[in-house]
Amino acid sequence: MTRWGMVIDLDRCVGCNACTVACKIENGTPPDHYWARVYTEETGTFPETKTTYVPALCNHCADAPCVTVCPTGASHTREDGIVLVNDKICIGCRACMMACPYSNRFFLRNGALETGYHGERTDYEDYKWSLFTEGTVTKCTFCAHRVDDGLLPACVVTCPTEARVFGDLEDEDSDVSVLIRERGGTQPLSELGTNPSVYYVEGR
């Protein structure tokens, strides 16, 4: 059984936000919905400081708390491990947003799609936003529409430093499994027991 996952190499990420933009272009997400984004982490005290760029997206957890709390079944996990929201039955209660420890869900307010990014909606916005339903919750889909066609997620394809690697976590020989094994991949907030499908590696 396939379980799609991603490994993000923090040593490679340069914080260019190409993934953020690629996600926006591919999915046409509305304003303030950043399914893929890059956090800046500053550590240390001047002059011994360090900046680390931490790309983030939905972790598609194997034990996703957002799925458990959803009263309608709108939040669901596919057989390949991708967690999706069915916007046809989401009621917009936002319990999933409270349950997600990673703040990876976004509420699309009623009226949010009435105008485009810069006033009047473009043809692109007309088309892309027709795929969204106001009053529901949105989230990263791991580009399920691309994955189903045998393609990689947009954020992975666009990354200029190849910091993001996508593959099957159940396949021991896949690039992601090898990276996790050899570089000691860690899951974000693993202590919560959500078993994310996104791993980070760093400290080459």
Partner 1 sequence: MMASQHSVARPLLIGPNQFLIGYQAQREWAWLIACAFFFGKVGAGTFLLSYLIGFKLGALVGLLAVGVLKTTAHLLFLGRPARFLYALRCWRTSWISRGIHGIGIFLVFGALYLSPEVVSFVPDGLARACGVVAALAAVLVMVYDGFVMKASKGIPFWDSYLMPVLVLCYALLGGTTVTLALQVISGEATESSLEWLQVAMLVLNLVLIGVVVFSARVRSAAAQLATALLTRGPLGAVFLVIAVGVGIVATGALVTVSLASGSHTALVAGAMTDLVGHFFVFFSVLRAGLHPPIRPLALTGMRLVGAAR
**Contact call for residues 12 and 200 (beta carbons, < 8 A):** no
The smaller minimum CB distance to partner 1, of residues 98 and 151, is found at 98
To the nearest whole angstrom, how small is the minimum distance from the Cβ of residue 12 to partner 1?
17
Q: How far apart are CA 147 and CA 150, in angstroms?
A: 5
Residue 191 CB contacts under 8 Å (≥ 6 apart), including other chains: none
**Contact call for residues 126 and 28 (beta carbons, < 8 A):** no
Binding interface with partner 1 (CB under 8 A): 32, 34, 37-49, 54, 56, 65, 68-74, 89-95, 97-103, 107-110, 133-137, 188-189, 192, 194
191 exposure class (CB count in 10 Å sphere: 0-12, 13-18, 19+): exposed
The smaller minimum CB distance to partner 1, of residues 138 and 174, is found at 138
Residue 81, CA distances (Å) to 144, 148, 195, 198 in order:
11, 13, 11, 11
The smaller minimum CB distance to partner 1, of residues 133 and 197, is found at 133
To the nearest whole angstrom, how small is the minimum distance from the Cβ of residue 103 to partner 1?
5
Determine the 3-state secondary structure of 116 from DSSP: strand
The smaller minimum CB distance to partner 1, of residues 76 and 146, is found at 76
To the nearest whole angstrom, how small is the minimum distance from the Cβ of residue 30 to partner 1?
13
To the nearest whole angstrom, how small is the minimum distance from the Cβ of residue 168 to partner 1?
24
The smaller minimum CB distance to partner 1, of residues 2 and 72, is found at 72
Determine the 3-state secondary structure of 5 from DSSP: strand
To the nearest whole angstrom, how small is the minimum distance from the Cβ of residue 40 to partner 1?
6
Which candidate, 167, 174, 192, places its Cα nearest to that of 81? 167
Which candidate, 109, 102, 95, 180, places its Cα nearest to that of 140? 102
To the nearest whole angstrom, how small is the minimum distance from the Cβ of residue 76 to partner 1?
10
The smaller minimum CB distance to partner 1, of residues 9 and 168, is found at 9
